[in-house]
Structure 1
C-alpha cells in the first residue's frame, strides 16, 4: 500500500498537481480510512516535505546533519518523531528569517501572535503555503461544523483594527461560509447589550452562531445571567471558541463547567459548544466534534515528548510536550517543538473519524504565557481600568 501512495504522489507532482492540496480536499473520505492507510498516506506527505526542506534550507540541513538524520531513516510513521523539530521560541528571535526555506521576497503574508514579553512570534508564508493554509482551514471548518450559511457574532476586533493578529484573521475566515457577520470588539471595548440586540434582530432570519475566545463567551454568558435575559439560540447554532483557556491574570477557565454553563445560558446542547486548537506558526486547526474530541487534521502528525527528554516519545495516553509535523509548510519547516502540554486519546472517537485526537492541558512550566486571546483580554482590561479610574485634580 505504501508504494502505491508514493507512486500516486509522484505522479501528481509530475502532472503539476499538489498532493497536499488533494489530500486536504479529500478530508471526509480520509478520516474514514483505516488507521493503517491513514498513517501511510500521512507518512508520505511528511517524508516529501522533509526532503524539500532538507534540500533547500541550509540551516535546517545543518541541524539534521548534526543529529545524523536523513530521509532514509523515515520508513514508518513511528520514525517521524526522529525528524528534528524547531523550538517555537525561534519564531520570536530577531533572526527568525533564517528559518525560511523560501527566499524572503517570496513571502506573501505574515501572521503575528504576541506573548507577555511583547515580542511577536512571526510566521511568514509564501504563495503555495498560504493557499494550503486557506484550504486547510476551510476544509476543517466544513468537515467539523458542516455549515454553509447563517450569521455569526464575532467576539473579536475586526481585521481593520488588528489585521496581523492570527486570531482575528482566522475568525474572519468564517465569513466565507456565512450569510452575515458582525464584530463586537471595537477600540478594545465590548458591549454585550449590542450583541443581544443583534441576536434578537437575527432571530427567525438566520441560524445564529457565536465565535470568539472563551473569556469573551464567558463574559457574555455572565452578563446574560446577571441581567436575567433569556436567549434561545437555534437547533443548528454553534458556539465556537479559540484562543486558549487561561486568563492573562493566570486564572484557568474550567472547560467542562464552561460547556455546561454556556449551553444552559444559550438554550442549546453541549455538543453545540466546540473549541479549536492551533498555533500561529502552523497551518491547521484541531477542531472538536460533537463529543468534544479535538481531531487532528489527517495530513498533520502529533508527537508527544517527555518534558525532561524532548527527543523521546511518551506512551500513548500519557501527557507530554507537543511536537507538530505539518507538511503543508514550504516557507519554513513546519516541524515545531511547542510549549504545550497535551495527551492523545487512546480510544476511537464515537463520531467515527479515524486518526489522532488531542487533549490540550496547558503550557509547560516556564513557558511564556501568551497568545492572541490573552493579549486581547489584557488590552481590554487595561482600557476598562483607565475608564473607571477617577482623575486626581
Structure 2
C-alpha cells in the first residue's frame, strides 16, 4: 500500500474524512509534482470506487458486467477502466436509481435545464454536500485570494431561483465578501442600476463583477455605447461562469471578450477569469491570472477519443471529457460529459502543478444547455413579450 493509501486508511479508522483533509490542503498539494498528485488522486478514486461498488447494487452490476474490480486499479491510467455514468442519465425519469445513498438521506437537489426543458437533477447527502462546499470555497480562496470587497452579481437571487446551480454557486461568493447585490430580477436587467452601484462603492470597497459571459458582455456593450467611464480597482476581479454559447447558438470569442472587458473596466486581462463546472459534480475548475484553467488536485480529468470512448487521446488533443470526482457519496462521481476539451501540457507560470484543461464546446449532437443559456432564454422571452404590439 502506498504512503497515501496508509494515510487514508488511518484517517478513516480515526473517524476523519480523508477527502476533506486533501481539500483543506489545496495550496500545498498544488505544489506537489504531477506524479505525487496522481498517486494521491488514485487512492481517493479507488476508495470512492470501492464505496459505490459495495453499496450501489446497480453500479455493482455494471462493474461486474465489465469485469472491473478494485484490483484492476493499479495506476492513474487504470481509472479509465472504471465504468462511467453518461451525464444524460441525470435527466432520466429513473435518475434516482443512480443513488448509492438512500433517498431519505438526500439533503439537497441541484438543477440545470437545457434546451429540452428537462432538468438535470443531482442529489446530495449531508457528507457529499459538505465536501462540495469545502471544495468550492477552497478553490475560491486558492484561485481568487480575496476575503473582502463587494460584488455585482449579474444573476437572479437565490430567493428568486433557489434550485438553479449557477445562482447557488454565485451566492457562495457572499461568504468571502463584505457586500453584494443581485441585478437580475424578474428576468430583467438594468445596466444603469449596476453602473450606479459601482459608483456608490468606489473608494469604499474593492469591486468585483460576477456572472455569465453573456451578461458581462451586455454590461460592457452598454458602457461602451454610452461612453461611460468606469474604472475598477487594482484588486478587482471580473469572474465568469456558465458557458460561452448563446441559446441562439452564437459563440462568444473568449480572447476578444477578455480584451474588451479589460479595456472597458480598466483592468488587466489577468483580472478577467472564467470558471468551469457541472451541476452533477462538486468542483469548479478555475482560471489563474494566466487564463490556465486548473483542475482541483483531488479530481481527475480523462479525455477520450470521440470514436473509441474507452481510449484516451494523446496529450493536447481534443476529446470528450470524463470526470472522476471522488467527493461524491450520493452517486458515483464518474461521469461521461458532453463537453469537448483538451489538456494543456505547458507548465503554468503561476507555479501550480497538476492538470490544466481548455474547454472548447459541447460535442456535436449533445443538448445545448446550462444555467446561463436557460437564464438568457428566459430574459430574451421576457424582452420579446414587452416589445410585442398588442392586437385589438
The 3-state SS of whatever aligns with 1:112 is strand
Give TM-score scaled by structure 2 length.
1.00
Instruction: Provide the C-alpha distance between the structure 1 equivalents of 2:6 and 2:309, rounded to a whole number of angstroms.
Output: 34
Instruction: Provide the C-alpha distance between the structure 1 equivalents of 2:169 and 2:260, rounded to a whole number of angstroms.
Output: 25
Q: Deviations over 1:242-275 (max 9, x none)?
A: 0000000000000000000000000000000000
Instruction: Provide the C-alpha distance between the structure 2 equivalents of 1:245 and 1:291, rounded to a whole number of angstroms.
Output: 19
**Could you say which residue in structure 1 is the equivalent of 2:53?**
54
Deviation at 1:4, TM superposition (A): 1.1
The 3-state SS of whatever aligns with 1:224 is helix
Q: Deviations over 1:64-106 (max 9, x none)?
A: 1111101000000111111111000000000000000000000
Give TM-score scaled by structure 1 length.
0.99
**Could you say which residue in structure 2 is the equivalent of 1:296?**
295
**Could you say which residue in structure 1 is the equivalent of 2:333?**
334
Instruction: Provide the C-alpha distance between the structure 2 equivalents of 1:371 and 1:178, rounded to a whole number of angstroms.
Output: 26
Deviation at 1:203, TM superposition (A): 0.2
Gaps of 5+ in 2: none
**Could you say which residue in structure 2 is the equivalent of 1:18?**
17
**Could you say which residue in structure 2 is the equivalent of 1:95?**
94
Instruction: Provide the C-alpha distance between the structure 2 equivalents of 1:281 and 1:137, rounded to a whole number of angstroms.
Output: 14
**Could you say which residue in structure 2 is the equivalent of 1:249?**
248
Deviation at 1:390, TM superposition (A): 1.2
**Could you say which residue in structure 2 is the equivalent of 1:125?**
124
Instruction: Provide the C-alpha distance between the structure 2 equivalents of 1:4 and 1:261, rounded to a whole number of angstroms.
Output: 48
Question: Where does 1:45-194 land on structure 2 (aligned, <5 Å)?
Answer: 45-194=44-193
**Could you say which residue in structure 1 is the equivalent of 2:361?**
362
Instruction: Provide the C-alpha distance between the structure 2 equivalents of 1:36 and 1:311, rounded to a whole number of angstroms.
Output: 23
Instruction: Provide the C-alpha distance between the structure 1 equivalents of 2:348 and 2:52, rounded to a whole number of angstroms.
Output: 34
Instruction: Provide the C-alpha distance between the structure 2 equivalents of 1:22 and 1:9, rounded to a whole number of angstroms.
Output: 9
Instruction: Provide the C-alpha distance between the structure 2 equivalents of 1:53 and 1:5, rounded to a whole number of angstroms.
Output: 20
Instruction: Provide the C-alpha distance between the structure 1 equivalents of 2:2 and 2:116, rounded to a whole number of angstroms.
Output: 48
The 3-state SS of whatever aligns with 2:274 is strand
**Could you say which residue in structure 2 is the equivalent of 1:9?**
8
Q: Structure 1 runs of 4+ off > 4 angstroms?
A: none
Instruction: Provide the C-alpha distance between the structure 1 equivalents of 2:163 and 2:33, rounded to a whole number of angstroms.
Output: 39
Instruction: Provide the C-alpha distance between the structure 2 equivalents of 1:54 and 1:348, rounded to a whole number of angstroms.
Output: 36
**Could you say which residue in structure 2 is the equivalent of 1:261?**
260
The 3-state SS of whatever aligns with 1:7 is helix
Deviation at 1:353, TM superposition (A): 0.3
Q: Deviations over 1:307-339 (max 9, x none)?
A: 111111111000000000000000000000000
Instruction: Provide the C-alpha distance between the structure 2 equivalents of 1:181 and 1:81, rounded to a whole number of angstroms.
Output: 42
The 3-state SS of whatever aligns with 2:210 is strand
Q: Deviations over 1:132-191 (max 9, x none)?
A: 000000000000000000000000000000000000000000000000000000000000
The 3-state SS of whatever aligns with 1:157 is coil
Instruction: Provide the C-alpha distance between the structure 2 equivalents of 1:28 and 1:82, rounded to a whole number of angstroms.
Output: 30
The 3-state SS of whatever aligns with 1:156 is coil
Query: How many pairs were matched up?
Result: 392
Instruction: Provide the C-alpha distance between the structure 1 equivalents of 2:260 and 2:352, rounded to a whole number of angstroms.
Output: 27
Say whether residues 1:234 and 2:233 are aligned partners: yes
Q: Deviations over 1:318-364 (max 9, x none)?
A: 00000000000000000000000000001111100000000000000
Deviation at 1:210, TM superposition (A): 0.2
Instruction: Provide the C-alpha distance between the structure 2 equivalents of 1:322 and 1:355, rounded to a whole number of angstroms.
Output: 16
The 3-state SS of whatever aligns with 1:105 is helix
Instruction: Provide the C-alpha distance between the structure 2 equivalents of 1:164 and 1:3, rounded to a whole number of angstroms.
Output: 41
Instruction: Provide the C-alpha distance between the structure 2 equivalents of 1:66 and 1:215, rounded to a whole number of angstroms.
Output: 44
Instruction: Provide the C-alpha distance between the structure 2 equivalents of 1:348 and 1:102, rounded to a whole number of angstroms.
Output: 39
